[in-house]
Amino acid sequence: MIYRTKDCAEMTEEWQKLGPDMVARLLGEINPHLAPVSFDTTSTTIRSQKLSFYKEYSFLELTDLSTVPGARKYVLFKPGTKGADVNVINWTNQTIYDVNEKAPVVLNEDTITSYVKFFFGYVRGRHGRFLIIETIDDVRWQIEPPAQGRKVMQEMLAPVTLESMEADGVFSLSAFMVFKDSLFKTRIHVNPDGLVSMSDEDLKIEGMPILQDTAA
């Protein structure tokens, strides 16, 4: 299992809570895609946000805390007169790649960083998630490091940075990431169609006392 930082719902743009009428309307279109589990209109909260790299899709967070454990799902949603396009996040990259093709995804100097944060926030690989770390406050510590250790780590970290855009449209960025209990620096490559890869991983710290990832 991978270890996590802040809730992945905090990694993107501004959320807006939707009213009960809109919740009921959306659940009518989304619930058929959530079988065998559906969300109750009376106990479900939906938050929505616009993502800069998808012009016509909204990103929805569905939460129902009336059950134990509580239920939460994320959906990329596009309304339509002949039926909505509903894409439930299943923590694989394929859901995002499918929407990239349909939307299509809009990647440029203004949107690429947000796209990378979104991608890694909502994709889990076979061995866990790669979580972007920009400041030490992004880390959910199991045991807080000593003050000197925090200072050293914070001075090492940096925001996701766009390094270059090649003639073929491929973006290259640098980022610090946590995987399992290790911090490393890496280069992230994004094709014009949104395909993501990494290279040049440089291990910085291992054996970090951080909490286990529980995203689902």
126-150 pLDDT, tens digit each = 878 899 999 998 988 888 888 888 8
Domain boundary among 74, 89, 104: 89
Answer yes or no: is pLDDT of 70 > 70. Answer: yes
Domain with 54, as residue range(s), is: 8-89
Per-residue tokens: 16: 């807006």
Maximum separation of any 2 CA atoms in the chain, in Å: 59
> Is 147 within the bounds of a domain?
yes
Lowest mean pLDDT among 4-18, 42-56, 100-114, 120-134: 4-18
Task: Based on the fold, state whether residues 26 and 80 are members of the same structural domain.
Answer: yes
Tens digit of each residue's pLDDT (9 = 90 or more) over 15-62: 999 999 999 999 999 999 998 889 999 999 999 999 999 999 999 999
Quick check: is 216 in a domain? Answer: no
In a domain, 130, yes or no: yes
Count of CB atoms situated within 10 Å of the CB of 67: 11
The structural domain count of the chain equals 2
Same domain? For 117 and 78 the reply is no
Position 2 pLDDT exceeds 60: no
In a domain, 105, yes or no: no
**pLDDT computed for residue 157 by the predictor:** 96
pLDDT of residue 5: 33
Q: How far apart are CA 106 and CA 93, in angstroms?
A: 17
Strand ranges in the chain using DSSP code E only, listed in sequence order: 16-17, 44-50, 58-64, 71-78, 85-88, 130-132, 161-165, 171-179, 182-190, 196-205
Beta bridge partners of 182: 179
